[in-house]
Structure 1
Amino acid sequence: MKFGITQPNQCSYLPDEKEQILVLVSDNSPTRHQYDYLISMGFRRSGGQVYRPHCQTCKACEPIRLPVALFEPSKSQKRIAKRNQDLRIEISELDKPEYYDLFASYINQRHADGSMYPPSEEQYQGFVPSPWGDTLFIEFHDQQELIAVAITDNLFRSLSAMYTYFKPGEEKRSLGIFAILKQIEIAKSMNKEFLYLGYQIDNCQKMRYKQNFLPNERFFEDKWHLFAKSSV
């Protein structure tokens, strides 16, 4: 496998920092086996691009995963699960047109100041599909209405949470947290060892919530470290 390093750019999470990315540049897309290895070494994907932060002066981005057999929900997480017990959950292996409609509404109303605005189907299809397939779409229904979708990669030893979006106006349900709780449950039912959550960034408020799922493991100094208690 071949890798390249991007030029320094403005960091989208920490405004005072510059980011550089280590990117897989092999001629062929990685196989499911190869990506399973790469994600265990701190890599992630966006569409077919596989990458890992490789910043020279900042180590704030730490890959984080949950050993699902050890997970214990907090009191707050239990309340969120109870609050959403009326929702119906379905899992699809196929992308559906209604997913993009919900995604576009979510980006337009909640992330108009972000890099995904304005949304487009080309952009959506650019980061959702994986070269090896095996992506799951976890649907959350309030009666007959689709109100949230969690996109998750199904790997050999793990699930990898890709992106969750929901209907604006449903903030009281804390659907982002609830989606992780459901993915933990699904990972257990599939006998997976881990649920990968992307990157934990302690100094970025919108990326800090992941550390509240305990215990968790973070990847730094080229190995995984177990955290049984939150650092906050």
Structure 2
Amino acid sequence: MNAPRTITLFRSPARPCSYLPGREAVNEWADPAAVDARVYDRLIELGFRRSGSHVYRPGCSDCARCISMRVDVQRFRPARRDRRCLNANADLSLHWAEPGYSAAHFALYRRYLAARHPHGGMDNPTPEGFRQFLIGDWSRTRFLEMRRDGKLLAVAVTDEVRDGLSAVYSFFDPDESRRGLGNFAVLSQIRLACEAGLRWLYLGYWIESSSKMAYKGRFRPAEGFIEGHWRPLP
């Protein structure tokens, strides 16, 4: 499929914002019939993200706090806290796995959601929901496994895009929270993108005032998609 010059966008109904209390959120979704891997290469450069086979961006008319963010992996240098995280996980091995359902991945995913999102509607996933959320019909996706002596501790769902990698989602053993496996997943994807000669790790939406999303701002240098352009984040 050749990338279309225009794509129809559909707006979702307003719903309570998951990140900013007291606010409502609206998403804009790209026409699924028009999207494939090549089209997504372009859309992610315009601030969009993937959820399953669907591609979206925030469309709130009265709020612009969700900023699509990408880390410059060639210029990134680990800070002291990053080096501590890397040292704490030096006993882990990394392995790329093909995307898809596996009993081991799903069991870890269930444990993670039960610990991190209890009673929030995500804590009782199904195998089909696992596939629909993490894997796109057209996406170039791989699962980055993090193991200790063969035991699966974490998975980072990672897309390959034209100029980088995109961190889609990560889940990990809640009993190993002291390791900082979420940060380790980001640091590992930064390193792998750099070693592959790529420029960016797309981290999704950064919300500085959200306790759930503010951590992304620690990975610098980075750019944010602001008012239609990628701009360096201060």
The TM-score, its normalising length taken from structure 1, stands at 0.94
Q: In structure 1, what is the equivalent of residue 64 of structure 2?
A: 59
How far, CA to CA, are the matches of 1:93 and 1:67 in structure 2? 26
Task: Indicate the residue corresponding to 1:78 in structure 2.
Answer: 83
Q: Which amino acid aligns with 1:223?
A: H
Q: Which aligned pairs between 1:33-182 and structure 2 lie closer than 5 A?
A: 33-95=38-100, 96-182=102-188
Aligned counterpart in structure 2 of residue 200 of structure 1, from 206, 218, 228: 206
Deviation at 1:29, TM superposition (A): 4.8
- Report the identity percentage: 36
Q: CA deviation at 1:196?
A: 0.4
After TM superposition, where is structure 1 displaced by more than 4 Å over at least 4 residues in a row? none
CA-CA distance at 1:139 after TM superposition: 0.5
SS of the residue corresponding to residue 71 of structure 1 reads coil
2:218 matched to 1:212? yes
Gaps of 5+ in 2: 1-6
Q: 1:135, 1:105 → 2: CA distance?
A: 22
Task: State the Cα distance separating 1:145 from its structure 2 match.
Answer: 0.6
- Per-residue CA deviation, residues 47-85 of structure 1 (Å, 9 max, x unaligned), is 011100010111110000011101111100111001100
Name the aligned partner's letter for residue 122 of structure 2.
M
RMSD between aligned alpha carbons? 1.2
CA–CA distance in structure 1, aligned partners of residues 201 and 231 of structure 2: 15
2:3 is aligned to none
Distance 1:212 1:186 in 2: 18
Give unpaired runs (5+ residues) of structure 1.
none
Mapped contact 2:53–2:139 kept (Cα < 8 A) = no
* Length, aligned pairs only: 227
Q: Give 1:76's aligned amino acid.
A: R
Partner of 2:212, secondary structure, is: helix
- Separation (CA, whole Å) in 2 of partners of 1:92 and 1:63: 27
Q: 1:73 touches 1:214 (CA, 8 Å); kept in 2?
A: no
Distance 1:13 1:115 in 2: 15
TM-score, normalising length: structure 2: 0.93
Which residue pairs with 2:16 in the alignment? Answer: 10
Indicate if the aligned counterparts of 2:92 and 2:147 stay in contact, CA closer than 8 A: yes
Letter in 2 for 1:57: D
